[in-house]
A = this chain, B = another copy of it.
């Protein structure tokens, strides 16, 4: 059983290889009558697009999305929404040296071992190019969530050992505007400068570096998440871990929470001035028992450094013989600036799915 679909009620299926004809996605389950703004979808793709700044890969792709079905008179019709993103700048010959050699910490070896055949050009299906399809689908999920006042926003919270200070979000759009002022997509301007300088230095040395993205979901209604296996944070975690290069996920207090005592960790309930039940602290990260509790949801995602480096490395070929490989093609020195829209897209897909699922929790 293959694994190219995600979500239960708001369900996406992606297809396509890095250097094939096109990549794309089908959304099945988007409710009818949602107005769809094509420019918004494209603007989301533009944030993930290669070649957008000096600290991203120089591959040139316009990533222009085409909608093939499911939308009529500017609105969803309840039928499957198919979106296509043609591949344009396929310098496949850049990859001819990879046909028979396994790049370290890439998926070349495991795909070959699993399937006995692989499209070696640019990683084929294992390329992060596939995530463009996710961003397109996530944009529609975001439009759905916006009708409910729910915002999903993320930023780069660390690059290597450079960490941004904790941030409170009062207005989602302001946060995004601030973040988009710099090419590393960190909402703290001072840290952003440091990060950019560091990535640039790493790039010049032919190396790469990892980082973290922090994501916030604002105005998430109480009640999303399905015990016991489809807990909201479990589905968020799976969504994030399915993104290329992700090695870790934590929400609320996360790994640090495991070092705390219960008496400091417990989030005490209070009634706020509007008479709503909320908690004083938010170590729970907006989720209790796998169900959203109305507080802001917050989680962090750890990305390993990009595996393709511009240095020579020893490896083996498909026969196990020693070989030498050095990075060609066009690659990112650090993945997190382009990962921000991907993290948001996957989070939006999870929340949209659980919002639909929760509508059947109670007989009414």
Contact = CB atoms under 8 A, between A and B. Distances in A.
B77 A119 contact: yes
Given A14-B80, A105-B284, A110 B223 contact: yes
B251 A247 contact: yes
Contact of A227 (B3, B227, B237, B271): B3
Given A17-B79, A33-B116, A265-B304, A316 B242 contact: no
B309 A263 contact: yes
B234 A268 contact: no
Interface stretch (A46-54, A124-132, A171-179, A181-189): A124-132
Given A2-B11, A6-B229, A289-B111, A16 B68 contact: yes
Interface string A299-329: 0001111111101011110001110000000
Interface in A119-156: 119, 124-126, 130, 144, 147
A1 B294 CA distance: 21
Interface size class of A (residues with CB under 8 A): 35 or more
A295 to B, nearest CB: 11
Interface string A260-275: 1111011111110001
A208 B34 CA distance: 38
B68 A302 contact: no
Given A124-B77, A293-B110, A1 B32 contact: no
Nearest to A224: B114
Copies in the complex: 4
Contacts of A117: 32-33, 72-73, 75, 77-78
A238 interface: yes
A257 B107 contact: no
A197 interface: no
Contacts of A267: 104-105
Most buried by B among A5, A22, A207, A262: A262
Contacts of A211: 258
A104 B223 CA distance: 17
A28 B228 CA distance: 11
B269 A242 contact: no
A8 interface: yes
A98 interface: no
Contact of A26 (B15, B105, B250, B261): B15
Given A4-B229, A291-B107, A316-B270, A253 B304 contact: yes
A306 B264 CA distance: 11
Contacts of A33: 115-117, 362-364
A191 B363 CA distance: 41
25 contacts: A1-B8, A2-B9, A2-B29, A2-B78, A5-B5, A14-B80, A22-B82, A24-B82, A68-B84, A77-B115, A77-B124, A105-B262, A105-B266, A125-B227, A126-B289, A160-B259, A207-B262, A231-B242, A247-B254, A248-B248, A248-B249, A249-B249, A249-B250, A253-B304, A271-B322
